[in-house]
Amino acid sequence: MILYDAQRHIFHLQTEEFSYVMQILEDGQLIHRYFGQRVNYFGDHPLVLLNRSFSPNPTASDRTYSLDTQLLEYSTNGLGDFRESAIAVSYEDGSSLDLRYRQHRIYKGKKALAGLPSSYGDDDQVESLEIDLYDDYLDLTVTLFYSLFPETNMLAKSVKVRAGQRAVCLEKVLSLSLDLPDSAYQVHTLNGRYAQEKLWTISELRQGKFSIESRRGASGHAQTPFIALADEQVTEDSGQVYSAHLIYSGNFVAFAEVNQLEMTRLGIGINDYHFRWRLEAGEEFQTPEALLSYTNRGFSGMTQTSHHFIRKHILSGKYKEKTRPILVNNWEATYFQFTEQKILELAEVASQAGIEMLVLDDGWFGHRDDDNSSLGDWFLYQAKLPNGLAHLVQKVNEKGLDFGLWFEPEMISEDSNLYRQHPDWAIQMAGRSHRFGREQLVLDLTKPEVCDYIVKSVTAVLESANISYVKWDMNRNITNPSDDLANDVKQEFYHRYMLGLYDILERLTKAFPEVLFESCSGGGGRYDLGMLCYMPQTWTSDNTDAISRLSIQEGTSLIYPTLTMGAHVSAVPNHQVGRLTPLETRGHVAMMGNLGFELDLTKLSTQDLSGIKEQVKTYKAIRDTIQLGDFYRLSTKSENEKAYCQVSSNRDQAVLTYVKILAQPESPISRIKLKGLDPDACYDCDLLGRSYYGDELMRIGLDMPLIQQDYQSVQYLFNKKRGENL
């Protein structure tokens, strides 16, 4: 609910769980008053007005009021708030911004953001507020957009800047800035590197600034556009967590700054690194959207809120909240060395095992036998697949499998027809030589003709055969940003690249609504909400080792639904880390996400093949629960053990996955308590040959078996007993 108290000039945004309060002061400043656990009414809480040294006052006669000491809703540069501002501008004769309230609008529903991905909802699910702030001297309007999802406990925020009569340069413009009166928090982020993405990282907050960012032209493997502040005493099930996401896939920054008065400012938005956007008179700039939430139900509360919201208001199209096929991908099975016959053999065994789709990965186009050539040439490698793509797809379909195909459309190889015809389509900075990544260059998506080429060439392939799935990869980051420096004040390249990319994705996903799109960037190098708005799943990591995957998948699922998370069983020794893990453990770990296989099924022993058949069968019986249910991290005695529970939305089924990493002598007992079950229902567990009530499983727990070997796991399925109880 969005309430406006016209007498006291107070906005109160209320969901089931939180309240967000702002107030317009007499001088037109928009002050932030409160964000936290829901209150029914925000009464007469006076501002803290104190005379403080070195905090400048807008009025000479009143030494108690300073922007430096207030909680500000959207802070500006140059006029007395010394923290990191939300927006900064420069113009002919100055560089400050004085924003005052002008008007506001409240309405049902939510507008889409022009050119950018954003959350969405029906008129009965979301309500919006727009507040126009105005700078008299610059004739500049800043509109703050708030869209409140009362049931899913989310506030979407974005900002639009509109130049009036005068031109200005935006030096910085965040999507969200939030001031909190306290600083006793820890910062939670998802950090990592290639093949080890999204490690859940906790950092201390001190006076000064903590920040994460990307300057790569993609959100990156190393950082995720997400930041949370949690009470120092927070637990999995209780305590306050404030969390913010950015719906954006390019350069971003997220920070938490503590000032001299131990107040905290949290911010997230486009990175101001290599960013300067010039607005001529009458022009507008729209920021990406940020999502803000609060819970006092600990990390589990944050995870549930985030998963539900993303599934309902970010994912879209046919596969939104729809289960995904079990696939086999040929990458780790063959790499570039495959023939039609080999792919059909793989499809044959996959079909016998009950697998539902075959994905042909890199190497089917141009003359690509390794990663040195052909990106940009999206036509079939005839010598490799002489009977054509449509023929191959038909043969695979005849075996009862759908067919998926890999692309890397944003890239160009020097050794490609495309480069020979259009060398200027690769991003290039005047006077500088190319920088290579995997021997490839990035196409300049700021050029409309390049975007059109990508749409046209991918369309032609998708129309040429019965293709049900696309893996959209991106395997290097941007260098040499080629801003047109005729007007040397602009640094717009990185954001214009993203606008080009989003335009392509919008066009292709609309044109092929039946196709399931999966995004990838060497695994999770662009696993963010911007991509998820178009492509409802992501290849989580190039690291397919079950043990490495535990932390990668745990970090990923901290905020992203398991429905979006590709997880494959691969061969041993594992290709990334050389580890030998049992097939069972590989299956159990992969079954916590969207299950696939990425190994040469034709070379398996009879025993392993029947193991895989069993995994496919089991997964089909639990797929709804895994993909569409609720996900819980369970408490274990140490980091040497991991336990998770996935529960169907009607609480009829639960899957407990327990992994013990290293064997220990005299191993301590591991009693695991489940979560999310119906306490009064009785559940059967076939593997244990027993039944338990939900309350027993959640309150007493289950003792895990003692297995004296490394990398062991168990998976218990609990199905609600029908009819009679115990």
Minimum distance from residue 440 beta carbon to ligand GLA (Å)? 10
Stretch binding ligand GLA (CB under 6 A), from 33-41, 417-425, 517-525, 672-680:
517-525
Contacting residue, 81, 289, 361, 444, with ligand GLA by CB under 6 A: 361
Minimum distance from residue 474 beta carbon to ligand GLA (Å)? 9
Q: Which is nearer to ligand GLA, 335 or 379 (CB)?
A: 335
Q: Quick check: 72 binds ligand GLA (CB under 6 A)?
A: no
Minimum distance from residue 520 beta carbon to ligand GLA (Å)? 5
Q: Quick check: 469 binds ligand GLA (CB under 6 A)?
A: no
Q: How far is Cα 27 from Cα 136, in angstroms, rounded to an integer?
A: 13
Strand duo 469-472 + 516-519: pairing = parallel
Q: Quick check: 442 binds ligand GLA (CB under 6 A)?
A: no
Q: Which is nearer to ligand GLA, 539 or 683 (CB)?
A: 539
Which residue type occupies 631? F
* E runs forming strands in 480-586: 516-519, 537-539, 565-570
Minimum distance from residue 473 beta carbon to ligand GLA (Å)? 5
Catalytic, out of 473, 528, 545, 630: 473
Q: Which residues contact 588 (CB under 8 A, 6 or more apart)?
A: 546, 657, 659, 713, 714, 715
Q: Which is nearer to ligand GLA, 566 or 611 (CB)?
A: 566
Q: Quick check: 527 binds ligand GLA (CB under 6 A)?
A: no
Q: Which is nearer to ligand GLA, 334 or 691 (CB)?
A: 334
Q: Quick check: 197 binds ligand GLA (CB under 6 A)?
A: no
Contacting residue, 404, 523, 536, 593, with ligand GLA by CB under 6 A: 523
Q: How far is CA 546 from the centre of its chain?
A: 22
Q: Which is nearer to ligand GLA, 21 or 359 (CB)?
A: 359
Strand duo 690-693 + 682-685: pairing = antiparallel
Q: How far is Cα 530 from Cα 527, in angstroms, rounded to an integer?
A: 8
Q: Which residues contact 463 (CB under 8 A, 6 or more apart)?
A: none
Q: How many residues does the chain have?
A: 726
Q: How far is Cα 471 from Cα 575, in angstroms, rounded to an integer?
A: 20
Contacting residue, 17, 402, 473, 652, with ligand GLA by CB under 6 A: 473
Q: How far is CA 392 from the centre of its chain?
A: 34
Which 323-342 residues touch ligand GLA, going by CB under 6 A? 331
CA dihedral of residues 134, 259, 528, 559 (deg, nearest 10): -120
Minimum distance from residue 125 beta carbon to ligand GLA (Å)? 35
Please, is 708 exposed, middle or buried when counting C-beta atoms within 10 Å of its C-beta (0-12, 13-18, 19+)?
exposed
Structure tokens at 57: 């006052």
Q: Which of 127, 25, 83 is nearest to 261 (CA)?
A: 83
CA dihedral of residues 414, 415, 421, 422 (deg, nearest 10): -20
**Which residue's CB atom is positioned nearest to ligand GLA?**
362
52 within 8 A of 41, measured Cβ to Cβ: no
Q: What is the largest CA-CA distance in the chain?
A: 87
Q: Which is nearer to ligand GLA, 161 or 405 (CB)?
A: 405
Minimum distance from residue 331 beta carbon to ligand GLA (Å)? 5
Q: Quick check: 402 binds ligand GLA (CB under 6 A)?
A: no
Structure tokens at 620: 């089909």
Contacting residue, 146, 210, 406, 425, with ligand GLA by CB under 6 A: 406
Q: Which is nearer to ligand GLA, 217 or 404 (CB)?
A: 404
DSSP-derived secondary structure letter, 194 = T
3-state SS class at 629: coil
- Answer yes or no: 542 catalytic: yes
Q: Which is nearer to ligand GLA, 147 or 570 (CB)?
A: 570
Minimum distance from residue 176 beta carbon to ligand GLA (Å)? 31
Tally helices (H) and strands (E) across the chain: 12, 38
Q: Quick check: 196 binds ligand GLA (CB under 6 A)?
A: no
Catalytic, out of 377, 542, 630, 652: 542
Task: State the binding string over 534-573 for ligand GLA (x if CB under 6 A, else -).
Answer: -----x--x-------------------------------
Please report, as ranges, the residues that interact with ligand GLA according to CB under 6 A: 331, 361-362, 406, 473, 475, 520, 522-523, 539, 542
Which residues are known catalytic residues?
473, 542
